[in-house]
Amino acid sequence: MIKVVNLTKNFAELKVLKEVSLQIKPKEVVVIIGPSGSGKTTFLRCLNGLEQPDVGSMEIDGIQVDAGMLDKEKNKRIREIRQHTGMVFQNFNLFPHMTVLQNIIEGPVTVKKMSVKAATKLGEELLLKVGLANKRDEYPSRLSGGQQQRVAIARSLAMEPKIMLFDEPTSALDPELVGEVLNVMKELAKEGMTMVVVSHEMGFAKEVADRVIFMSDGQIVEQGLPEEIFVNPKAERTRKFLNQILK
């Protein structure tokens, strides 16, 4: 489903990603952990074309993108990738000038040229799924963080993606609101969505992740089943990091 080869990204002098290679199978749920500055968010953003790698290539759902491609061709392919990849951001990034329902149907109507009627039906189903059917006509500013994030997930799902990318989806939330967002994500995982999640939610990782990846200094240090990584990490750096966040 996702195949990444030698992805390298520099911000000026700083090497953020150093030849990262990775394969993810359909329906797999992968959780990426690592200290801040380890490159995990940059890696995720590369998968959605929000960052452009300097070297390397990736193939997502059959669409190949090489760092060395001509911009025009590359941009076309990235846009294609985005149409079947959903992205959920740390800060939700809902469109504040649109109601909850308008946020959700914006993609289908503007990008896929779906009729407003059909999109509204889809939007209502998705709102039911994330448990916010009664909020359809509210503006995002009236919702709690957890509700906003669930709307953001519904907005991504409205494009009927095959892959969902989550960039620290619960980091900006008050602790008591984290559960409702994780529950929606668990539901998605159960339904067989391919998911790549940058998150430090250990409970979530243990329960639904097929694989946990530990990144540090722009590299994948180690990866394996959640219990392997959490209980018995091989690398010293992983152990140190886990000690710090589990304290």
For other proteins, the binding residues (CB under 8 A) are 48-50, 79, 82-83, 85-87, 89, 91, 93-97, 106-107, 110-112, 139-141, 152, 155-156, 158-159
Task: Let me know: does 206 contact 229? Beta carbons within 8 Å.
Answer: no
Q: Give whole-number Cα distances, 59 to 20, 29, 87, 113, 166, in Å.
A: 13, 17, 17, 26, 18
d(CA 44, CA 16): 12
What are the tokens at 38? Answer: 């380890």
Query: Closest distance between other proteins and the C-beta of residue 72, in Å?
Result: 13
Query: Closest distance between other proteins and the C-beta of residue 123, in Å?
Result: 13
- Pick 82 or 211: Cβ nearer other proteins: 82
Burial grade of 219 (CB within 10 A; 0-12, 13-18, 19 or more):
middle
Query: Closest distance between other proteins and the C-beta of residue 67, in Å?
Result: 19
- Pick 69 or 98: Cβ nearer other proteins: 98
User: Buried b / exposed e across 143-157, counting CB within 10 Å, b at 16+?
Assistant: bebbbbbbbbbbbbb
- Pick 111 or 231: Cβ nearer other proteins: 111
Query: Closest distance between other proteins and the C-beta of residue 237, in Å?
Result: 30
Q: Which of 136, 134, 83 is nearest to 110 (CA)?
A: 83
- Pick 170 or 238: Cβ nearer other proteins: 170
> Residue 244: which residues within 8 A CB-CB, separation 6 or more?
none
- Pick 10 or 90: Cβ nearer other proteins: 90
Distance between alpha carbon 207 and the CA centroid of its chain, in Å? 18
Query: Closest distance between other proteins and the C-beta of residue 247, in Å?
Result: 31
Q: Which residues pair with 23 in a beta bridge?
A: 3
Query: Closest distance between other proteins and the C-beta of residue 136, in Å?
Result: 15
**Segments in 48-171 forming alpha helices (H):** 71-83, 100-110, 116-129, 145-157
- Pick 83 or 223: Cβ nearer other proteins: 83
